[in-house]
Amino acid sequence: MTVRGPKDPVTGMVVDLKALDAVVNARVLDEVDHASLNDDVPWLTGIVPTTENLAECFFRRLEGHVPAPATLHEVRILETERNFVAYRGD
């Protein structure tokens, strides 16, 4: 995932990575890890779990939940070492 925003003048970071990690875990990973994407994840009901669709769904789940002042810019999912999908919103 990529975030955007101004750097904090004290820390030099756009976002606290521990806080960002907590959001990603709570909003996405805790719900999809070791789950049947077709059966166990309510917000994926009716979605064919292709990498393209998952990148978009993950983006939607994270959008607006990234710790301020950062904003979500991109979700990227690697299928293999040489193949990935990136989604940046509409």
Residue 86 buriedness (CB in 10 A; 0-12 / 13-18 / 19+)? middle
Please check whether residue 80 is in contact with residue 90, taking contact to mean a CB–CB distance below 8 angstroms.
no
Q: Average pLDDT of the chain?
A: 96
| Calpha distance 62→22 (Å, rounded) | 11
Which stretches of the chain are DSSP H helices? 17-24, 30-32, 51-62
- What DSSP string describes 74-90? EEEEEEETTEEEEE---
Domains of the chain: 2-87 (3.30.479.10)
The DSSP code for 44 is G
Is 38 in a helix, a strand, or coil?
coil
pLDDT at 90: 82
Render pLDDT for 25-66 as a digit per residue (tens, 0 to 9): 999 999 999 999 999 999 999 999 999 999 999 999 999 999
Mean per-residue pLDDT, 1-8: 96
